[in-house]
Amino acid sequence: MYFLYELERVITLHPSFFGPRVKEYLTNRLLEDVEGTCTGQYYIICVMDAYDISEGRVVPGSAVAEYTVHYRAVVWRPFKGETVDAIVSSVNRMGVFADVGPLPVFVSNHLIPSDIKWDPNATPPQYTDNGDQVIEKGTHLRIKLIGTRSDVGSMFAIGSIKEDFLGTL
């Protein structure tokens, strides 16, 4: 689910950047540092604006200055039970790996309807019900997330397509 989230970040700046364009530089740094990262809980998709940049404070003992930047960002946090669209990134005997944007999702074969079976002999290998449903690399899937796990700086989820209206698109 997407949220507009207010966050803050402390940016340290080398003295060589002190100058009239420091704000601009800070903003750029913020974008570079933050956009597209994952905190372990959510992904920061896009920084809308940095609405409050504090005054710089020189850190004692070094010349760098610290700026606290408050910014608004669009974040995406996957939830248990959320239904998402994904693109299959790989398929194997155990199940299907798919990517929901930055989030890798695993759909175990326990969570694939029983009529969709693993067919290792197809090229490329795929899950298929011998009808119109074929899951192979690149297939678009609608998945319900049933569990998420967060590591430091990354997330992982497992999903299910074993319900109505889930599966290939």
65: left (phi over 0), alpha (psi -120 to 50) or beta: beta
Decide whether 23 or 80 has the Cβ nearer to other proteins: 80
Q: Which stretch binds other proteins (CB under 8 A): 31-39, 43-51, 102-110, 115-123?
A: 102-110
Q: Is 158 in the site for other proteins (CB under 8 A)?
A: yes
* 14 contributes a contact to other proteins by CB under 8 A: no
Of residues 55 and 152, the one with the C-beta less far from other proteins: 152
Of 30, 146, 161, 166, the one binding other proteins by CB under 8 A:
146
- Specify the pairing of strand 117-119 against strand 126-128: antiparallel
CB crowding 136-146: b at 16 or more within 10 Å, else e: beebebbbbbb
x/- track of binding to other proteins for residues 78-97 (CB under 8 A): --x--------xx-xxx--x
The H helix count followed by the E strand count for the chain is 1, 13
Beta carbons within 10 angstroms of residue 124's beta carbon: 10
- Partners of residue 44 on adjacent β-strands: 75
Window 24-63: contact mask with other proteins (x via CB under 8 A):
----------------x--------------------x--
Q: CB of 44: closest distance to other proteins in angstroms? A: 18
Contact present, 65 and 49 (Cβ < 8 Å): no
100 within 8 A of 161, measured Cβ to Cβ: no
List, in order, residues 6 or more apart from 17 with CB less than 8 Å away.
25
The region of 8-16, 23-31, 105-113, 128-136 touching other proteins under the rule CB under 8 A is 105-113
Enumerate binding residues for other proteins (CB under 8 A): 40, 61, 80, 89-90, 92-94, 97, 104, 106, 108, 110-111, 145-152, 156, 158, 160
